[in-house]
Amino acid sequence: MVTLSIAEELESNVFTGQLPAEVRRTLADIAEEQTHHEGATLFREGDAVSCLSLIISGHVALDMLVPAQGQQRILTLGPGEILAWSAVLGDGVATATCIATENCRLCAWPAEALLELCEKNHDIGYAVMKALAQAVSRRLVVTRLQLLDLYPEH
């Protein structure tokens, strides 16, 4: 199996593919590659998260603690989807527990470096935040649909 570099992965990825080539190259420069084995917990609900991550390969599940129901799987994510967006858009606290459901490869951007880049170069900042807003919007729709299954009418 041929493994592409992070820069090559960013060219064809749903999240970054629509970004200008210059922006993708700059993002690749500050990215860190991560790998996680099946069953690994990437972060826990309530933990501080310091990186925005993009799934390159593999799948992860997001679980939340639901009152009176315990830990519930709310979403499964795969290639092209983002993790831990609260590191750059929120308060830096994970809103769910993330578990690798198979071996996975991630592109992770340290939030501090990504935010600094966006502040220094507003063209890059606009492109990144626009892509992030679109990704969060898609996630919201998918989560709503999944919650309809989680809380069926009686």
pLDDT tens sequence across 56-93? 999 999 999 988 888 888 889 999 999 999 999 989 99
Q: pTM of the entire structure?
A: 0.89
Pairing of strands 41-43, 97-100: antiparallel
Query: Per residue in 29-46, pLDDT tens?
Result: 999 999 999 999 999 999
CATH of 6-150 given 2.60.120.10, 3.30.1330.60, 2.60.220.10, 3.20.20.120: 2.60.120.10
Under DSSP, the state recorded for 5 is: P
Domains of the chain by residue range:
6-150
Sequence-ordered strand ranges (E) for the chain: 32-36, 41-43, 51-57, 60-66, 70-77, 82-83, 97-100, 104-110
